[in-house]
Every structure is written in structure tokens, then in C-alpha cells.
Copies of this chain bind each other. A is one copy, B any other.
Amino acid sequence: MEKSVTVRAPVNIAVIKYWGKSDENQIFPINSSLSATLNMDQLCTTTTIASSPKFTQDSIVLNGKPDNIQSKRLQNCLSTIKSLALKHQTVPQSFISQKILITTSNNFPTAAGLASSASGFAALTFALAKLYNLDVNSKTTDLSQIARIGSGSACRSLSGGFVQWHKPNASLGVVSNATQVFEHTHWPELIILICIVNDKQKETSSTVGMRRSTDTSDLIVLRDLVTQKRIERITRAIKEKDLPAFAEVTMKDSNQFHAVCLDSYPPIKYMNETSWEVIKMVHKYNDSKNAVKVGYTFDAGPNAVLFLERKDFPDFLKCLLWFFPENNNNNKVAKEKTVYVQGGEKQLVEQVRKEQLQEVKMEGMKRQEGVLRSILVTSLGRGPEEVLVSQDGKGSKL
């Protein structure tokens, strides 16, 4: 029996950060976390899994290149899904024995420094579940727990909107799943900007960094308590669409995560001077408006993710483009190919870009050309979905 499914899964960005495992094999986090699922129109992983009696071995092709099918994390996901299919007899046993070919790619360059393992393992898990006819909405088949053993934060990419990943709770047994807190349609005014920093420094991988922090940081012991309170606070802020409260908790939690990294030994540093310039600019912008209009968060890398509401977007974008203009040293050919501000809100962006840039004065801020590679405009989005594959190889929603 030949069968092929194609799915796409979103990237998520934590506003209450996950950092540190209480169990390395199970990937149990030491604290619960909360994330925003990003719109797949801008960022997603597309994964096709084909099963055929003709295949003589399992294989995987990642962004056009053969990859390691024996990876422990991948095999964990695959065997868990297969046992579920066997248990619930959702497909014939012979189909489960057939070899598969996994083809996966991101619609964003890996070089952009955006974590792709979350969307990657979410797509893999979702595609496998579809391939083997598992009920993806059933509570007994909690896909988030399967994605989690692939890559911790992947569990948060299995739902849209705002998603909470729960740390294991002794009273509920050894369960650590992710659940949707609000749908993506709850806060349509929320705009998410990803400022991609021009920097190619080699970074400490999350896995290595987390282990080091868990082993050496004194301050990490407070994270569980602090994040519990912050998840309550930010859930209320999201419910009320209270951007100032949402942004403030988001900024504080990003800073605390990086503080824990710095408290590790040897210290871990993910933000660079450009990241700090964005932080400074956001605080100065908020000060100038006498209100928190924009919040930032940084993952295990220098890229800034900013949250703001549509009504403030044109004004803030002008300010961002003033202080972080694109590099004009590009030759003309390259310039025409580059779109500095990419993604959604095209009309608003075009309007702002047509205007002459106005000088913005902020104490201590200097214009820095070319320190950002691009600015990606996106929003909240839905969870993974099955897609049709068109002739050009690109997926479109079923």
C-alpha cells in the first residue's frame, strides 16, 4: 500500500521561557512555559512522508540533503507513533512495517538563526500521525507529548495561538504536554516582528546550554516559582488583550532567561551588541510614549522578536527603520533582490517605506546601518495542518 501525506507546522516563540530539563531522556522541563505560535505564511516547516512497499530502508531528506534517519530523537518519535498505530489498529500491521521516506524543508533559511527544530519535530509528529491514521484530536493520542521527546519546545508547535507547555505534575503522573490557552483569532491586532541580526557567531546549542545552566547556575532554582506567577499574569494579560502587561512580563522573562545563562559556568551569552541596541531602543520608545507599546524577547540567539499592536505598527516601524536602516553598501543588483521588511502587513509597510525617513531623536541611540539583515512582519497563527502539494513542490492548505 502506497501512501503519502504532506503537512506544515509552525514556529513558536516562548514569552515565558523554557530553560533546563529535570529529565534529559523524557525531556521534562524544570518549569512550565508559554509561547505564541507564529503564522505559517511567514515561517513554517513542510514535511512529506511517503510509505511504499518498494522502499528498502527508512530515509530522510532535510532541506534537499540526505540526513541521519537514525537520530535518537527522530527514532523516539517514529517508534512511539508506530506503537500507537499498532495498539489502536489504525492501519494494517503490514503498512506499519513498510519503509518510509521523510522529506522536510523550511520556508525560511536556516542561516536566519531561527530555531527550526520546534517546527521540524511538530511537522514530523503531525505527519506521522496522519500517515498512520491516528486521531490527532484525541486526548489519548497526545501528539504534543510525542513531539516533546523529539525536541522539547516542539510540543508547543502542535497548537495555534498561545500555548502552554506544562511541566510534569506529581499529582497527575508523569505527563508533560502542551495545551492551547487562546486561539490565534483571539488577538488579531497583535503584530510580531522578527529582527534578524547580521551575525554569524557560533553559539552554544540549547541542549548544551540548558545542561550547563541546570548543572551550574544557582539562580535557575528560582525559575519554577517565578514562571508559575508569570504564566498566571501573562495569561490574564492575553485574555484582556492588555499589551503593556503582556509586553512587560515578556521582556522580564526574556531578560531572566539570559540572566540564568550568564549565571552558568562558563557563562553563556546569546545576545550581542545589536540585540542590546534593540532592547535600548524599545525601552526608549516606550518611555517616549509614556506607555509600554512594544515588548521584546530573545531566544538562544541574537535575533529580537517584538510584540506590538497594529495601531502602533507604522509609527514604531518608522523608528525601527530610522535606527536600523538596511545596508546601502549593497550593489544595485543585490539591493533589488533584497526585501528588507518581509512578511505580512504589506500595505502598512509599503505606506511607511514610501515616506521619507524622518529623523528620530533618542538620547544615547545612534543609527546603525546593516546590523539587521531583515525585519520579518508576522502574527499569531494556527497549529499544524495537512496540505496539498502543488506542482512547484509548495504546499497549500487542504
B-binding residues in A (CB < 8 A):
202, 218-219, 221-222, 226, 248, 251-252, 255-256, 258-260, 262-267, 269, 272-273, 276, 279, 283, 364
A256: chain B residues within 8 A (beta carbon): 218-219, 262-263
Count of identical protomers in the assembly: 2
Query: What would 20 more interface pairs be, CB under 8 Å, given A222-B222, A269-B276?
Result: A218-B222, A218-B226, A219-B219, A219-B222, A219-B256, A219-B259, A219-B263, A248-B265, A251-B266, A255-B262, A255-B264, A255-B265, A255-B267, A256-B262, A258-B262, A259-B262, A262-B262, A266-B279, A267-B279, A272-B273
- A216's nearest neighbour on chain B, judged by CB, is B252
- Return the contact of A263 from the options B221, B259, B266, B283 (Cβ within 8 A): B259
A218: chain B residues within 8 A (beta carbon): 222, 226, 256
- Return the contact of A251 from the options B265, B276, B279 (Cβ within 8 A): B265
A259: chain B residues within 8 A (beta carbon): 219, 259-260, 262-263
CB distance from A222 to the nearest CB of B (A): 6
CB distance from A271 to the nearest CB of B (A): 9
A269: chain B residues within 8 A (beta carbon): 276
23 pairs across A/B with beta carbons < 8 Å? A202-B364, A218-B222, A218-B256, A219-B219, A219-B222, A219-B256, A219-B263, A221-B222, A222-B222, A248-B265, A251-B265, A252-B265, A255-B263, A255-B264, A255-B265, A256-B262, A259-B259, A259-B260, A259-B262, A259-B263, A266-B283, A269-B276, A272-B273
CB distance from A295 to the nearest CB of B (A): 12
- Bound complex: CA A201 to CA B266 (Å): 26
CB distance from A4 to the nearest CB of B (A): 43
A202: chain B residues within 8 A (beta carbon): 364
A219: chain B residues within 8 A (beta carbon): 219, 222, 256, 259, 263
A276: chain B residues within 8 A (beta carbon): 269
CB distance from A154 to the nearest CB of B (A): 28
- Bound complex: CA A221 to CA B219 (Å): 9
